Amino acid sequence: MTTLFDSYRLGDLVLPNRVVMAPMTRVRAADGGLATASMATYYAQRASAGLIVSEGVQPSLIGQSNPGTPGLHTDEQVAAWRPVTAAVHANGGRIVAQIMHGGRVSHPDTIGTQPAGPSAVPAAGEVFTPDGPKPAPMPRAMETAEVPEHALSYAQAARRAVAAGFDGVELHGANGYLISQFLSSNANLRTDRYGGSVRNRIRFAVEAASATVEAVGGARTGIRLSPGGTFWGVAETDVPQLYTALLSELARLEVGYVHLEATFDEDVLLDLRRAWPGTLIMNPVVPMGPKQTGRAEADHWLGLGADLISFGRAFIANPDLVERLRNALPLAPVDEAGYYQGGDVGYLTYPAYQYSA
């Protein structure tokens, strides 16, 4: 029987276990979207994970969603990331960069211009700005001719990620951000080749993945998806058909892995597992929902055919999560007030498990 602690080969990487650190926004970057020494320490502390997926990294200035997030679109950003990836590798870890274009989920106060998305439909709720949360603004609908440029931005960031020492990239195709917006049937009201039918709504995701595979290779390219998810007010019709069609195209491109979130009925997710011939990372609970992934949820999905299991919040308070899971040690609780507050408190201040003498 497969366990969390069996090794796994992912492309050219040999993972010592099947525990994946999920991408989590922590807004600790310096001005200019630069990674910092504290970020190097944070990721190196968690290098015992089989694979680390970084926080979302913007591929362009207009792609930035939140203030305080890092980028991969300037030479200075590449240089700033190198000590981070070097620290993870020095501690025996493996790390991929999650490339995240916010699309409509942004604000002029953050990026200095009107956010752009598939259509002129604002996201639901408030977005983060340098001056605090504000209502999501009306985005500008992308012109047909400029859409491929945004798809290509993922590939350009992927090249920079590899130059910065990352072992690969994960396209953020989930949770209401740009790829997810194109997949959506209410954020995407386009009547050109990027909207309407299932084939058209998956086109942007396929173009972004294809360009990235061409740039850095399929083995170094993954994608995260949230079938049926409703983050930032997105909705999707024809979820089984939409994602079956998308997975078919991703398989044709020989993408290295798919990272699925448990955002839809389990029987549909199992059908998607059967439709996807490659490596599957499963996030067994809804991100930011009331429940966190634990050993029981991980074992359940390993039994259903997932290859790797991603853990989010548990990794914040438990840098030694793999050891705690392996030895059935108690997990430390996370202080939610430290998620986005900046600084090292609630970031670098969670210790490894303290054994009694």
Catalytic residue annotation: 177
Token readout for 268 is 């549909």
CB 260 within 8 Å of CB 269: yes
| Strand pairing report for 134-135 and 126-127 | antiparallel
CA–CA separation, 37 and 132 (whole Å): 25
CB 54 within 8 Å of CB 23: yes
Decide: helix, strand or coil at residue 6: coil
| Strand pairing report for 257-261 and 95-99 | unpaired
Amino acid residing at 80: A
Q: Percent helix, strand, coil in the chain (nearest 5)?
A: 35, 15, 50
Token readout for 86 is 């070097």
CA–CA separation, 253 and 195 (whole Å): 22
DSSP string covering 339-352, please? SSS-SSTTTT-PPP
- Of the candidates 229, 249, 253, the one whose C-alpha atom is nearest the C-alpha of residue 239 is 229
Straight-line distance from the first to the last Cα atom of the chain, in angstroms, rounded to the nearest whole number? 34
CA–CA separation, 160 and 314 (whole Å): 29
CB 63 within 8 Å of CB 74: no
Radius of gyration of the chain (CA): 19
CB 261 within 8 Å of CB 174: yes
